[in-house]
Chain A
Amino acid sequence: MTPPTHRHTLEIRDLSVRVGESEILSGINADIRCGEVTALVGPNGAGKTTLLLAILGLVPYRGEIRFCRAAEHGEGAPRIGYVPQRLDFDRNAPMRVIDFFALSSQRYPVVFGHSARSRRSAEEILARVGAAQLISRPLGKLSGGELQRILLALALRDNPDILLLDEPVSGVDLSGEVVFCDFLSQIHSESGFSLLLVSHDLSVVSRHADRVICLNRQIICQGATTEMLTPENLEAMYGSGAHLVSHGPVDGSGHLHGQSASGQEEEKGD
């Protein structure tokens, strides 16, 4: 799958993040390569979201995050697409899906209406993610799965070099999850961006990821997916009692159980 020479690589070197007195991440070294799907797994509070925020430049960090682009593929800063785990916005906000698209694509204020260009690009990309019918719906009334598609459409609109997905299937039911992941692999194979995916769901990871980074405040292990998801590594990350259980229609894989009682709660702002 992996092309022999990479169009671009995101190199993370000796990265550490402190918030107040506590060290959330330390000694992180990893390469996120073009065209690969890298999964970031680890228990609640492991610093997965924080690592994404550091890549986005939203939390201060020490160490280096370098973006290396092969000369023949242009230059400049990488375009990073980001799909957050959940939108902590006001569900009653008077905002339609088209408003949300126009906010990020047109220069003059959305209060003067939507530009023809922003409407056209919204229609195109929504059709691509199979969500064309949502364009006039209020953002706050969408289901978890619909909202994920909208966010993914926006993240894909500007042809990102790197796509960061934080728990893309949390808040989506199991069938929606399978559809979303299959759709994501299809888009990914067409576009060839590098995909960094935070997931609790090891079925998603084992089906779709080329590489896995196991994280618990530092890197426990990283490498090819098949070699990394061993009982020893899982125990090192999640503590003893962690195991894979079969779950729903996905063959030979499943959700990880044996974490804290809060289950899928993610480390917001850790």
Chain B
Amino acid sequence: MTQSLLDPLFSAMGHLLPFGFAEPLFMKRAILAMLFVAPAAAAAGVPLVHFRMAFFSDAIGHSAFTGVAIGVLLGVHPLLTMVAFGLFVAWAITLVKGRTELSPDTVIGVFFSTVIALGIAVISAQKGLTRNLQAYLYGDLLAVSETELLWMGMLLVAVGAYLFLAFNKIMLIGVHEGFAKSMGVPVRGLEISFALVVALVVTTAIRAVGILLVTALLVVPAAAARNVAHGIVSAFWAAIAIAVVSGLLGIAASYYLDTATGATVVLFAAAFFAITALLKGLSRT
């Protein structure tokens, strides 16, 4: 079933990307995974950067330590427990943030350390878990299964649908919460739902680029796009384009240079950031 769904996509890729690196099946899977995950991450990244939530995204990423450990302990697929635990942490952070006078980064900092500590404690108690964790720490795009591919495809559709309904309202909250509320925007509900969507994107994207780099996939394309864009329209589509192009270039380069795929993708995105920052500097002088 999975096979029959993906086969047409793979054969289409054979025509669209007639390059040596795209020939093996595992490379086709990796490219397709990147084409699903990168636009979803960049699209969620635009409001994320607007909200200054990069640290939040990092905390969710690191909650994957615990999520994966729980999965291995319970004997279920770590992707499931990682996503579920990530959603739980996102919900908990948002709830606590709304009910305390502490600054958001303090609240996130507390959760950040707690979830890492919990993950390390569980992992250290279980011999043999450490090796399993490597794939999540650095990402393992070349070993993505077809079930995971389908999951990533569904993520792209879900993020697209959510942003189609909520993008305007979320951006309005980012300008001024009270002002958005006076315009009839349901602020609390959107804050929680956006946090959950970010958690979904982050935990899924970990398979591609790893816990350590996952925030980069959301933040760097959006930040690079900001350097050159003047309005929301160009900022959004530039972020998507930068994410997809960095994804493809990164996969190709990692194939020939034999470097870690996730890291290479992020380096290309960072290069886009550097170039756009220079362009911005030049346009000012």
Tell me the A residues contacting B by CB distance below 8 Å.
19-20, 52-53, 56-58, 80-84, 87-90, 92-96, 98-100, 102-104, 106-113, 138-139, 151, 154-155, 164
Contact with A151, one of B169, B179, B187, B237 (Cβ below 8 angstroms): B179
Contact indicator A84/B232 (Cβ below 8 Å): no
CB neighbours (8 Å) of A81 from chain B are 182
- Within B1-40, the residues touching A (CB, 8 Å) are none
A61 to B160, CA, bound (A): 37
Contact indicator B226/A104 (Cβ below 8 Å): no
A111 to B237, CA, bound (A): 8
CB neighbours (8 Å) of A95 from chain B are 171, 175, 231-232
Minimum CB distance partner of B164 in chain A: A109
Contact indicator A90/B167 (Cβ below 8 Å): no
How distant is B183 from chain A, measured CB to nearest CB, in Å? Answer: 5
CB neighbours (8 Å) of B187 from chain A are 58
Contact with B168, one of A52, A57, A106 (Cβ below 8 angstroms): A106
CB neighbours (8 Å) of B178 from chain A are 52-53, 56, 58, 82, 84
- Within B157-189, the residues touching A (CB, 8 Å) are 163-164, 167-169, 171-172, 174-183, 187
CB neighbours (8 Å) of A100 from chain B are 175
CB neighbours (8 Å) of A82 from chain B are 178-179, 181-182
Q: Say yes or no for B229: interface residue by CB 8 A criterion.
A: yes
A191 to B80, CA, bound (A): 56
How distant is B47 from chain A, measured CB to nearest CB, in Å? Answer: 11
CB neighbours (8 Å) of B182 from chain A are 56, 80-82, 155, 164
Minimum CB distance partner of A87 in chain B: B176
A94 touching B174 in the complex, CB below 8 Å, given contacts A106-B168, A109-B163, A110-B168: no
A58 to B171, CA, bound (A): 18
A110 touching B52 in the complex, CB below 8 Å, given contacts A19-B101, A94-B226: no
- Within B105-140, the residues touching A (CB, 8 Å) are none
A155 to B179, CA, bound (A): 9
Q: Say yes or no for B65: interface residue by CB 8 A criterion.
A: no
Q: Say yes or no for B259: interface residue by CB 8 A criterion.
A: no
CB neighbours (8 Å) of B181 from chain A are 56-58, 82
Contact indicator B168/A113 (Cβ below 8 Å): no
Minimum CB distance partner of A160 in chain B: B182
Contact indicator A20/B101 (Cβ below 8 Å): yes
A88 to B169, CA, bound (A): 17
Told that A94-B235, A104-B168, A111-B236 touch, could you supply 9 new A-B pairs with CB distance under 8 A?
A: A88-B176, A90-B52, A93-B175, A95-B171, A103-B171, A109-B163, A109-B164, A112-B233, A138-B231
CB neighbours (8 Å) of B226 from chain A are 92-94
Q: Say yes or no for B284: interface residue by CB 8 A criterion.
A: no
**Dominant secondary structure of chain A at its interface with chain B:** mixed
How distant is A34 from chain B, measured CB to nearest CB, in Å? Answer: 18
The 3 closest A-B CB pairs, nearest first, are A82-B182, A94-B235, A109-B167
Contact indicator B171/A110 (Cβ below 8 Å): yes
CB neighbours (8 Å) of B231 from chain A are 94-96, 98-99, 138
Q: Say yes or no for B50: interface residue by CB 8 A criterion.
A: yes
- Within B199-239, the residues touching A (CB, 8 Å) are 225-226, 229-237
From A81, A100, A107, A111, name the one whose CB has the most chain B CB atoms within 10 angstroms.
A111
Contact indicator A99/B50 (Cβ below 8 Å): no
- 28 example contacts (A-B, Cβ-Cβ < 8 A) are as follows A53-B178, A56-B181, A56-B182, A57-B181, A58-B177, A58-B178, A83-B179, A87-B176, A87-B179, A89-B174, A89-B175, A89-B176, A90-B174, A92-B226, A93-B226, A96-B232, A98-B231, A99-B231, A99-B233, A100-B175, A103-B168, A104-B183, A107-B168, A109-B164, A109-B167, A139-B175, A154-B179, A154-B183
CB neighbours (8 Å) of B163 from chain A are 109
Contact indicator B230/A96 (Cβ below 8 Å): yes
CB neighbours (8 Å) of A89 from chain B are 174-176
CB neighbours (8 Å) of A80 from chain B are 182
A108 touching B234 in the complex, CB below 8 Å, given contacts A88-B176, A151-B179: no
Contact indicator B179/A84 (Cβ below 8 Å): yes
Contact indicator A94/B164 (Cβ below 8 Å): no
Minimum CB distance partner of A111 in chain B: B236
A109 touching B168 in the complex, CB below 8 Å, given contacts A20-B101, A82-B182, A94-B226: yes
A134 to B76, CA, bound (A): 57
Minimum CB distance partner of A269 in chain B: B101
How distant is A130 from chain B, measured CB to nearest CB, in Å? Answer: 21
